[in-house]
Structure 1
Amino acid sequence: MTTNQPWPWHEPPAPAWFLTLVLLGAVYSAVISIRGLAYVLLCLRRPIDLRRRYGAWAVVTGPTSGIGRSMALELAGRGINLVLLDLDAANLREISDLISSRHGVKTRTVVFDLSLVGTAQGDEAMRRFREAVDGLDVGVLVNNAGVARPYALYLHETDVEAWLRMIRVNLWALTEITAAVLPGMVARGRGAVVNMGSASSEAVPSFPLYTIYASTKRYIAQFSRSLYVEYKSKGIDVQCQAPSFVATGLLPRGTVPMVLALTMPTPDAYARAAALWIGYGPLCSPVASHQLLWCLTTLVVPEAALDWFLLQLGQWQRVELRNRKIRAAKGSVGVDGN
């Protein structure tokens, strides 16, 4: 019996565009799988003894609230003594007393308004900080302090001094504090520097209406990457952590859409994950939900769509913040924030 149907090997080859799509899909699946596997393996491994690996003391900036407070408590729980920097003496005493009573480690405090860096007052505070760490085995530095205000504004809509304050804290102070701690780490041949960046500069192509904030965080990522290369051979791990939204006072409550709020860890949950990632690469996003968002924004959603969405988000926040100010003026509610 004969048939006119061709054998399978006589079928024409698949078009080039189809093969390209298959290849892209395979690469995408591989990237997602590798990222997911790396995250799972890191979470399952035994935590590093940070004190033994890096040193007995850690410096934490901005330790009185949010991520900084949780990071200070997390490190203290791992037996590390702490040097704490913040602008409010009363808040510093409170967190210092809490750490000492809960974990029994030593603490030192330095009152330092980081927005004054580069001024006479800032130079005096930097001198006191150097005295506080002199002779200490500082093994970990967590540059956490940061400024997000002013919120959701175009560049021309606020006073230049507000932008300069943000730059001094987020960029200049971080650089000076790091430069003050690194020589001791180099002399001892070990150490870890953790700089708190942001997904706003790494996971998305733009962050409209928060332009200066995202730009300072981009500096932190590049600063960290370059120092990572410079100091890795000297036994020093430099890392930029780039979280997405965390449930802190950095942004006013209610100004984050519900779909993003569902991905927000508490500061304590973030700190637990962040401590696990110290020493593992120059750039990371420690929380699983943030990693998933990062994958979606870099591998799935087109840049133009992200630009549009983030601009709409900023515009919505502008309206919400303006309405809160109006209600506050009428005596109904205040504006939340740090």
Structure 2
Amino acid sequence: MLIQTNILEAIKAIKVSDPILSRSTLIRSPKNLNNYGSWALITGATDGIGKAFANQLARQGLNLILVSRNLNKLKTVSAEIRAQFPHLKIKVVAQDFSGNISAGAGLIEEAVKGVEVGVLINNVGITYPRAMYFHEVEEEVVKGIIRVNLKGTTWVTRAVLPGMLNRKRGAIVNVGSGASIVVPSHPLYTIYAATKAYIDKLSRSLYVEYKLRGIDVQCQVPLYVATNLASKVASIEKSSMFVPSPEDYAKAAIRQIGYEPRCTPYWSHAVQWCFARLLPDVLLDAWRLSIALRRRAEVLA
């Protein structure tokens, strides 16, 4: 009977709701992130979504560990947040994830010693400099994308997870991409999409492994957000109804932490996902390829 009860509890714990916009998602209350711990760690924290996450977590009253490759930008963002929230404690870790990952993980392990990191936001990510066929991508670009998107998230998670296990509470958010989930293919950005598919699988498996140990793992799947990366990939220069600003995206994303193992936090992204699911893969493949070829032609012109 005890075994049967445990199995039922496990099934309930890993129950997955559809990541499409739903009534329950709209009306449910966000979790109090302070219950996970008094600190949050954010990678890629000096620009775009990462910086917006840092500001939103500061509004929640969490102390911050900001991780990015540019120390000057880290100091600027830290000063900006301190000006608004002088009572918060902020640490900065200058780490270029395209370099020595093991050394970077050591820096992060040192930064989290003695502090309760309750929320981890694995946001750092890079993509191609332009739309490129697989055989055209330079070796260093391939290595950089794999190091940053794949190894970076993996090793930062390993550095932070032991403390969460000791406290039996924590939330890990891995920022994925619609390029690997919403559409069946992402031609001319293949390696980027493949690394984000890894993030999705990593997140779901960790969700199942650690849910019953008090740790909520989630892959958030944004579509286009008005960031530098979106500008490079899609020539997006400003926000719109279907392309939120990083600040608007982060506000929505914060509300979803601790719930489903995979979600699309921003409402218009969820609507787009709904429509994409109604279309056959062959049509979505042709659409994505036409967009990528057009962008490639613009750069080469």
Same fold (TM over 0.5): yes
Matched, 1:204 2:204: no
- Which position in structure 2 is the counterpart of 1:162? 141
Matched, 1:78 2:56: no
Deviations, residues 89-147 of structure 1 (Å, cap 9, x unaligned): 00000011111111231100011000113xxxx43333222111101100000000000
Q: Which of 252, 255, 261 is residue 276 of structure 1 equivalent to?
A: 255
Q: Which of 244, 262, 272 is residue 293 of structure 1 equivalent to?
A: 272
Alignment of 1:181-192 (within 5 A): 181-192=160-171
CA distance in 1, matches of 2:105, 2:165: 20
Q: Percent identity?
A: 43
**Conserved 8 A contact 2:69-2:94:** yes
Which structure is richer in relative contact order (CA contacts within 8 A, separation 6 or more)? 2
SS in 2 for 1:47: coil
Alignment of 1:127-206 (within 5 A): 127-206=106-185
Deviation of residue 203 (structure 1)?
A: 0.7
Alignment of 1:1-338 (within 5 A): 35-36=20-21, 38=22, 40-51=23-34, 53-104=35-86, 105-117=88-100, 122-252=101-231, 255-256=234-235, 262-298=241-277, 300-323=278-301
SS in 1 for 2:192: helix
Partner amino acid, structure 2, of 1:302: P
Deviation of residue 173 (structure 1)?
A: 1.0
CA distance in 2, matches of 1:58, 1:290: 26
Structure 1: which 4+ aligned runs deviate by more than 4 Å?
A: none
Deviation of residue 44 (structure 1)?
A: 3.0
SS in 2 for 1:123: helix
Unpaired runs of 5+ residues, structure 1, are: 1-30, 324-338
CA distance in 2, matches of 1:227, 1:69: 25
**Conserved 8 A contact 1:59-1:138:** yes
**Conserved 8 A contact 1:42-1:276:** no
SS in 1 for 2:64: strand
CA distance in 1, matches of 2:111, 2:217: 22
Q: TM-score, length-normalised on structure 1? A: 0.80
Unpaired runs of 5+ residues, structure 2, are: 1-16
- Across the aligned residues of Structure 1 and Structure 2, the Cα RMSD in angstroms comes to 2.0
- Which position in structure 1 is the counterpart of 2:9? none
Q: TM-score, length-normalised on structure 2? A: 0.89
The structure with the largest alpha-carbon Rg is 1
SS in 2 for 1:114: coil
CA distance in 2, matches of 1:195, 1:290: 17
Deviations, residues 199-226 of structure 1 (Å, cap 9, x unaligned): 1111111110010000000000000000
